[in-house]
Structure 1
């Protein structure tokens, strides 16, 4: 990401635990990545992305951020069991010294749940020295790269936001139709579509008969996000 063409970021608002996971999994030099900004009033985290390259105004960044966060929230929830975070102030890094924050008002609901923490694994050699690994993009970053290269993948991810039902899962399936199926057996795809079409999306009839072993909703979610 060129600092000359991209001087924007978006503040990340959410639970501290979720923000820690975002920071752990979204690291530079891969896109998107999280950057910490030091501030006298309190440090905060900012999401940086090549999607903001060449953008002229904070308003444009704010509009782009809403869809970016929507897609990324799905990628993070499926890969790290995070709750959604929200896009906060647009941060302008173009000025010397302290970055400037442009705030936009947005009403948000609140929710709470209890989760386990994120484990970190440290590998050491026979002498007890920490083995340093070459940095690699996280799975969430790979998903976001795929969504950038193919807008249909981004659409599929947004259909999976929150707790998708059969309607949203089938929409995601349609968005991904024609792409490599990742080694999923054809019989499982048929089981998914037949379950969805016979009773879930349509009333059963002679053309849409129930599958002998209908797929559970949780199985369908796992299949689409595989």
Structure 2
């Protein structure tokens, strides 16, 4: 069995840009959940469930697609990652054999700046390296832990991970408004604190959603709206 052969169980194969897949593996590591890892053939796998009953495949597929949607949102907020997609299932048996249930799709490669975490060595007063710190969940794993206990946080992550259209941006704003209210805050106040022009962001979303060509209002570009949305979501989630 190869050193990279995963433990027995079900894994979702992830499809996306190499940069984003690298961010998944960096941010989702053991001993915390969820875990993304590199498979024996260089593919990126999201661990779904231990065990290896083949009859569980359809249930695990549905769970994996839902989980990927939330992780996309968490990593967009934590690492500025773009969404990745579900590319099939692979089940590893006790003997290390892989049983694939795959929907293949092309990868897209593009050079981009990314937010990889540096590796740091901390030195003590005498100049010798200090022992590694106690492991902690990554910011993305912490967000996903919050989502497991809060439907409102889960809604924010779901729409943040899909916010490549004006409709999804609108839905994410509404989810953020609900979450802020649950926290006893006003979304408009949090937007002001984070420098987000909430009124223009909302009006831009409505302008494009309703295709209101007669409105003389000049909406913001989609890329600008996505940037503001990420900043607003980070601010709301920081208030938890």
User: Which structure 1 residue ranges, 5 or more long, are not aligned?
Assistant: 204-215
- Pair 1:31–1:168, CA change in 2 (3 A): same
> Residue 153 of structure 1 contacts residue 175 of structure 1 at CA under 8 Å; is this kept in 2?
no
* Number of residue equivalences: 205
Quick check: 2:32–2:137 contact (8 Å CA) kept in 1?
yes
CA RMSD, 1 decimal: 3.8
Question: In the TM superposition, what whole-angstrom CA distance separates every residue of 1:145-192 from its partner, at most 9, and x where no partner exists?
Answer: 1111222321121222234646233322244254326xx677615868
Which residue number corresponds to residue 10 of structure 2? 8
Return the match for 2:118 from 110, 117, 120.
120
- The alignment's TM-score, normalised by the length of structure 1, stands at 0.71
Higher helix share: 2
TM-score, normalised with respect to structure 2: 0.67
**Residues 18 and 85, structure 1, Cα contact 8 Å, conserved in 2:** yes
- In structure 2, list runs of 5 or more residues that go unmatched: 1-5, 208-223, 236-240
> 3-state DSSP class of the match of 2:113?
coil
In structure 2, what is the equivalent of residue 93 of structure 1? 92
Q: Quote the residue 1:34 is aligned against.
A: 36
In structure 1, what is the Cα distance between the partners aligned to 2:84 and 2:176?
A: 25
With over 3 angstroms needed to count, the CA separation of the structure-2 counterparts of 1:97 and 1:147, relative to structure 1, is same
Q: Which residues of 2 match residues 43-192 of structure 1 at below 5 A?
A: 43-49=42-48, 56-104=55-103, 110=108, 112=110, 114-116=112-114, 118-125=116-123, 126-129=126-129, 131-160=131-160, 161-163=162-164, 165=166, 167-180=170-183, 188-189=189-190
Contact 1:156 1:175 (8 Å CA) reproduced: no
Q: 1:81–1:53: structure 2 CA closer, same or farther, 3 Å change rule? A: farther
Contact 1:55 1:61 in 2 (8 A): no
1:206-221 correspondence to structure 2 within 5 Å: 217=225, 218-219=227-228, 221=230
